[in-house]
Structure 1
Amino acid sequence: MDYSPVVVALVVTVSSVAIIHLLTTRARKSCPANLPPGSLGVPVIGQSLGLLRAMRSSTGDQWVRDRIDRYGPVSKLSLFGTPTVLVAGSAANKFMFFSSALALQQPRSVQRILGEKSILYLHGAEHRRVRGALLEFLRPDMLKMYVGRIDGEVRRHVEENWRGRAAVTVMPLMKRLTFDIISALLFGLERGAARDALAGDFGHMMEGMWAVPVNLPFTAFSRSLRASGRARRVLEGITREKKAGVLGHGKASSGNNDLITCLLGLTDERGERVLSDEEIVDNAMVALIAGHDTSSILMTFMVRQLANDPATLGAMVQEHEEIAKSKADGEALAWEDLAKMKLTWRVAQETLRTVPPIFGSFRRALEDIEFDGYRIPKGWQVC
């Protein structure tokens, strides 16, 4: 039988509406009692699109305030495919950060992009094991070795992208500078085609991190998953190469003090490796994401704040010129020089206070819990 396009479209539309109605009805029936006020919205999508639009237009704070005005400081909704409870206020902050019944866990969409073995999705002993391994990379004696390398990346970046230009677009440049520094420190990846390709994939990954988790070819989430796969293959290759070097020397070489080499060289009291290859790759992905946006956003807003505050800018310039006088021509900064940047550090802290680089935090309920008289079921997100 020959169906016209109009009939086919009608059937698809009616079927879609029926399925959405069925899912919504089931969701209502399955909801436990005494939940916070609010609506879970359409299955999968929920309120995700509204929040994403607000974040892209820099009105996320207003979106949250409007929701609090409508439902109060505790309300239910659905974000990124998961039932969620939004809480606000000082008591809510204490509950979020100190309750043993909540575990740090990003939405499932983020987990699918970053990997199953990252520190973001572990708790208890497993979380402590991975956290301890990552902290080895951030020991003070390790950090001291990174200053000169960061100095070199910044000098090249300024020479190529800032010097001699009447105007620059700060945010994209800060994002690339941060990516170059982090990829050098985490992966030992030098400048070249491989780093450029990874930077492109990283950009596509970020576009779908906070997207409705629908894996269809035309969606940002699908593009992000594909970019994540390509980036993961690059990091897996780097891990294999560095693993061969560590095994060949019996330990990590002092000249290769990047994150992957450091993690490969960690062993327990039995001489067994602390982290598997998969755990190293997944947590390297998390470290790249975690360090990138926070640092690039902070530096961008510091530039904006200083552009509108000539007095503070002048004092900061003077502070840096005093440090420069003690250095030979072309000599890199050292760890001791950073301790002299007291005003710079205060400006950074004030910028973080006034313009937090992270919009919010997600936790997941490990059991049925109660807050402010409302029930939060096990497995629900709390933000």
Structure 2
Amino acid sequence: MSALLLFIFLFLIPIVLLLGKSRKSSKKVPPGSLGIPIIGQSLGLLRSMRANTAEEWLQRRIQKYGPISKLSLFGKPTVFMYGPASNKFIFTSDNSTLSNGQTQSIRRILGERCVLELSGQDHKRVRGALMSFLKPESLIKYVGKMDEEVRMHIQMHWQGKQEVKVLPLMKSLTFNIICTLLFGIERGPRRDELAKWFPQMIEGMWSVPINLPFTRFNRSLRASASIRDTLKELMDEKRVELEQKGANPHQDLITCMLSIYEQNNEVMTEQEILDNARLVMIAGHDTSSVLLTFLIRLLANEPSIYAAVLKEQEAIAKSKPKGEFLSWEDISKMKYTWRVAQETLRMVPPVFGGFRKTVKDIEYEGYLIPKGWQIFWVTNMTHTDGRIFPEPTKFDPTRFENQSAIPSYSFVPFGGGPRICPGYEFARLETLVTVHHLVTKFSWKLCSDNSFGRDPMPVPTKQLLVQIMPRNEV
């Protein structure tokens, strides 16, 4: 008996273990190459983004390797996935499979406690705090204030001008709206200080995370630290206002986050407030300014669509006493204008894509994706798929008349599922109020070509220089 046990131990058990190991490794990682350590394919992707050929760059990967392939981006082994099913897997997988995990450059610039990085109960708690301020029921109170900001902007930067550069003006507008509505920062030295550091913080978001002097990443880290210090001062002031002066908890986003408690009376941490304030600054500033810029560009190329938007907006203007601010009811009437904005988002999504991270070895579509690898998805890959959106290069707002006809997880400019951007309604409100005033006060034509690159947001040639002509006010 002892000899038999010895035989099993010495010969059969190693064979069983070997077979088990073989079965475990029978799944292969996706095809592709990780390239040069740390750098990988990062520079190739960034170059193609700046040349506006990133989709072609990725299509070549798809043709060579299929819809799932491995590469290395921003210092991490990565799996690129493409298609509605992949989008659904990425957006709906819980934190036992995929965790929020941005690139090292984004994580270090925005901080490790922003909602992009959190998972599970922490993600739910912080997202809930953001949503308590950004949900439609809360935004109703801010329509008039946003209207006032847009009118002031147009009076200062558009009226009396013959030509304007649209992108910097839209960035200025959205930055001022964020400062006023989200942070309660009045015009003055503090806002000017943030305006100085803000572009530098953004420029290194997608960069190789090598922290050497004179690199984009280094400049972004220093700018992020300066913004954090400014927001820390602001947060301390608002804490005093809240605790000693009885400030309205919903007067701005930071005050709202300071006042949020969960059932266990756990307040948001200081780091969470500061990290998410920087995230909201970037999300509310860049996505909206890019959407507005390219919406103006596309309306200049589509006279019939411009005329239809104008008709809808003039009807709203004529229904109101002269000078009265827009209301939430007016916003709800701008259905065609929002379909035009959605088609703009389909053709030129401000966010190129995003990342999540595997928390364990997972199998997907017959491949093994090891624990700790990044999952990379790209917005425009389904937006320009002719099987999903026929004639994808044609600007056609009627695609969005019947939202249910669009396959799930195909139109994803704001992400999808439980991780859809919490600022979606804020961006919608900001866009519609701005378009209302622009189309009822001006017409315009392009002074530059239609080309653009990504850095990492879309940037049109000459920052979209347009000639503007005033209209007779309604």
TM-score by length of 2: 0.71
**Shift of residue 173 of structure 1?**
1.3
In 2, distance between residues paired with 1:332 and 1:238?
Answer: 29
Contact 2:228–2:274 (Cα < 8 Å) also in 1: yes
Are 1:89 and 2:83 matched, yes or no? yes
Contact 1:40–1:76 (Cα < 8 Å) also in 2: yes
**Shift of residue 273 of structure 1?**
4.8
2:271 to 275, 278, 281: 278
In 2, distance between residues paired with 1:32 and 1:172?
Answer: 53
Contact 1:133–1:274 (Cα < 8 Å) also in 2: no
Partner in structure 2 of residue 12 of structure 1: none
Contact 1:185–1:258 (Cα < 8 Å) also in 2: yes
Are 1:56 and 2:50 matched, yes or no? yes
Contact 1:264–1:273 (Cα < 8 Å) also in 2: no
Partner in structure 2 of residue 292 of structure 1: 285
Partner in structure 1 of residue 350 of structure 2: 357
Residues 313-324 of structure 1: pairs in structure 2 closer than 5 A: 313-324=306-317
Give the counterpart letter for 1:320 in structure 2.
Answer: Q
Are 1:253 and 2:248 matched, yes or no? yes
Give the counterpart letter for 2:180 in structure 1.
Answer: A
**Secondary structure in structure 1 of the residue aligned to 2:30:** coil
**Secondary structure in structure 2 of the residue aligned to 1:382:** strand
Give the counterpart letter for 1:264 in structure 2.
Answer: L
Residues 179-218 of structure 1: pairs in structure 2 closer than 5 A: 179-218=175-214
**Shift of residue 196 of structure 1?**
2.1
Give the counterpart letter for 1:267 in structure 2.
Answer: Y
Contact 1:37–1:75 (Cα < 8 Å) also in 2: yes
Contact 1:74–1:87 (Cα < 8 Å) also in 2: yes
**Shift of residue 95 of structure 1?**
2.3
Partner in structure 1 of residue 38 of structure 2: 44
In 2, distance between residues paired with 1:273 and 1:196?
Answer: 34
**Secondary structure in structure 1 of the residue aligned to 2:89:** helix
1:282-311, Cα deviation, whole Å (9 max, x unpaired): 111111112222211111111111111112
**Shift of residue 103 of structure 1?**
2.1
1:342 to 335, 344, 357: 335
Give the counterpart letter for 1:370 in structure 2.
Answer: E
Describe the shift of the 1:33–1:268 C-alpha distance in structure 2 as closer, same or farther (beyond 3 A): closer
Are 1:157 and 2:153 matched, yes or no? yes
**Shift of residue 323 of structure 1?**
1.8
The number of residues matched between the two structures is 350
Partner in structure 2 of residue 140 of structure 1: 136
Partner in structure 1 of residue 74 of structure 2: 80
% identity of equivalent residues: 56
**Shift of residue 219 of structure 1?**
0.5
1:3-48, Cα deviation, whole Å (9 max, x unpaired): xxxxxxxxxxxxxxxxxxxxxxxxxxxx998222222112211111
Partner in structure 2 of residue 240 of structure 1: 236
In 1, distance between residues paired with 2:42 and 2:359?
Answer: 23
Give the counterpart letter for 1:326 in structure 2.
Answer: S
**Shift of residue 361 of structure 1?**
2.1
Describe the shift of the 1:141–1:75 C-alpha distance in structure 2 as closer, same or farther (beyond 3 A): closer
Are 1:308 and 2:301 matched, yes or no? yes
Give the counterpart letter for 1:253 in structure 2.
Answer: N
2:369 to 360, 376, 380: 376
In 2, distance between residues paired with 1:201 and 1:84?
Answer: 31
In 2, distance between residues paired with 1:151 and 1:192?
Answer: 21
Give the counterpart letter for 1:98 in structure 2.
Answer: T
Are 1:35 and 2:29 matched, yes or no? yes
Any gaps of 5 or more consecutive residues in structure 2?
A: 1-24, 377-474
Describe the shift of the 1:79–1:152 C-alpha distance in structure 2 as closer, same or farther (beyond 3 A): same
Higher helix share: 1
**Shift of residue 218 of structure 1?**
1.4
**Shift of residue 372 of structure 1?**
2.1
Describe the shift of the 1:185–1:32 C-alpha distance in structure 2 as closer, same or farther (beyond 3 A): farther
Partner in structure 1 of residue 226 of structure 2: 230
Give the counterpart letter for 1:368 in structure 2.
Answer: D
Describe the shift of the 1:145–1:32 C-alpha distance in structure 2 as closer, same or farther (beyond 3 A): farther
